[in-house]
């Protein structure tokens, strides 16, 4: 039972986490941030189109199906980038604070886009929930499926055309050297012109970033061309900072239990040409319960106000 209760937070932060969960999230907006109207496609043809989605949580025995609109969007993109929230293992544990995914997840995701087009970030607070063995098993299963991964010491960066994605995490439930830390220096590769930071950061169950997170984003965007984050399990705004953008959190791609504040997330279509962002389109996705064992995920509209 103790293993299920490990978190990266202090007692005070854990109490705040629980309170936010019970009251259906923190909707306070301490800095008055409004989402930038970021929904454009420049005349230049993107060298690559990526679909960035949020957290892939444990399914607790449920299976996934996908709506036609979401399938169409995924098929129009070259790769799908996702945060794999927990290792892929055959565990029979309760999915609670300790997270894991079964191999069935890969079979389900293959229905949205062929696994050869999936790229998983392993930089999050749950990837080490089952220790190094869990990380190694996850990497083996991903590679055997023809998908790719990044965000660990084994493979910190994913290269795509002349772009690079960097997976980093602010939090770890169990300290280890394997996930790339947000605090550690991430040396940008010289093999890319366009650099995307894909951080697991911020506070869970919050709908807006904190002042310190906004300040950090400003600093990071001096080094990276785009930030697309996750970890809050709730969709958060996108902010334009100078001529670059930070999508603070995509939220969940799906959730296995009925909690309305956690059932809606963002997906973002991104493309670049040379070192310039030429495509950025945000949409919302929603989890629907088809029956006790089946979840359906589909688009429900875009985030532009």
86 within a domain of the structure (yes/no)? yes
pLDDT, one tens digit per residue, over 99-138 is 788 899 999 999 999 999 999 999 988 888 888 888 999 9
Q: Which residues touch 76 (CB under 8 Å, ≥6 apart)?
A: 49, 269
pLDDT at residue number 141 = 97
pLDDT at residue number 93 = 66
pLDDT at residue number 230 = 96
254: domain CATH number is 3.60.21
Residue 201 half-sphere exposure toward CB, CA atoms < 13 A: 25
- For the chain, list residues with pLDDT below 70: 1-10, 17, 36-37, 92-97, 171-177, 185-186, 302-305
136 within a domain of the structure (yes/no)? yes
Full residue range of the structural domain in which residue 89 is found: 35-302
Give the Cα separation of 223 and 242 in Å (integer). 13
- Which pair of tokens denotes residue 197? 């930071």
pLDDT at residue number 38 = 76
Give the Cα separation of 139 and 149 in Å (integer). 7
13 within a domain of the structure (yes/no)? no
268 within a domain of the structure (yes/no)? yes
Per DSSP, the three-state class of 2 is helix
pLDDT at residue number 132 = 87
- Comparing CA positions, the residue from 160, 143, 171, 295 lying closest to residue 229 is 171
Residue 83 half-sphere exposure toward CB, CA atoms < 13 A: 36
Question: What's the N-to-C CA distance of the chain in angstroms?
Answer: 44
12 within a domain of the structure (yes/no)? no
pLDDT, one tens digit per residue, over 127-160 is 888 888 889 999 999 999 999 999 998 899 999 9
pLDDT at residue number 142 = 97
pLDDT at residue number 159 = 95
159 within a domain of the structure (yes/no)? yes
pLDDT at residue number 1 = 42
pLDDT at residue number 194 = 96
pLDDT at residue number 96 = 57
When divided into structural domains, the chain yields a total of 1
1 within a domain of the structure (yes/no)? no
pLDDT at residue number 94 = 58
pLDDT at residue number 153 = 87
- Comparing CA positions, the residue from 232, 260, 206 lying closest to residue 85 is 232
pTM: 0.92
Neighbouring CB atoms inside 10 A of 24's CB total 13
282 within a domain of the structure (yes/no)? yes
């Amino acid at each position: 039972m103790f293993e299920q209760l490990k978190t990266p937070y202090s007692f005070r932060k854990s109490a705040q986490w629980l309170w936010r969960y019970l009251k259906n999230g923190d909707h306070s907006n301490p800095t008055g941030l409004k989402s930038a109207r970021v929904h454009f496609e420049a005349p230049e043809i993107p060298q690559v189109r990526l679909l960035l989605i949020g957290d892939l949580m444990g399914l607790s025995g449920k299976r996934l199906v996908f709506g036609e609109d979401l399938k169409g969007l995924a098929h129009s993109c070259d790769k799908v980038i996702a945060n794999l929230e927990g290792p892929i293992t055959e565990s029979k544990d309760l999915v609670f604070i300790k997270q894991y995914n079964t191999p069935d997840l890969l079979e389900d995701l293959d229905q949205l886009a062929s696994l050869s087009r999936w790229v998983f970030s392993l930089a999050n607070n749950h990837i080490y929930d089952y220790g190094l063995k869990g990380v190694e098993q996850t990497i083996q299963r991903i590679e055997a499926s023809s998908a790719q991964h990044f965000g660990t010491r084994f493979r910190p960066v994913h290269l795509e055309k002349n772009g690079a994605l960097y997976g980093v995490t602010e939090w770890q439930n169990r300290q280890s050297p394997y996930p790339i830390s947000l605090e550690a220096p991430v040396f940008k590769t010289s093999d890319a012109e366009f650099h995307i930071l894909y951080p697991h950061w911020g506070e869970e169950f919050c709908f807006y970033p904190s002042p310190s997170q906004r300040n950090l984003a400003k600093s990071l965007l001096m080094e990276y061309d785009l930030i697309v984050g996750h970890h809050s399990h709730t969709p958060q705004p996108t902010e334009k900072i100078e001529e670059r953008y930070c999508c603070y959190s995509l939220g969940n791609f799906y959730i296995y239990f009925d909690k309305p504040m956690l059932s809606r997330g963002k997906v973002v279509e991104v493309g670049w040409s040379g070192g310039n962002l030429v495509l950025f389109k945000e949409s919302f996705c929603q989890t629907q319960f088809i029956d006790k064992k089946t979840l359906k995920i589909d688009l429900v509209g875009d985030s532009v106000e």
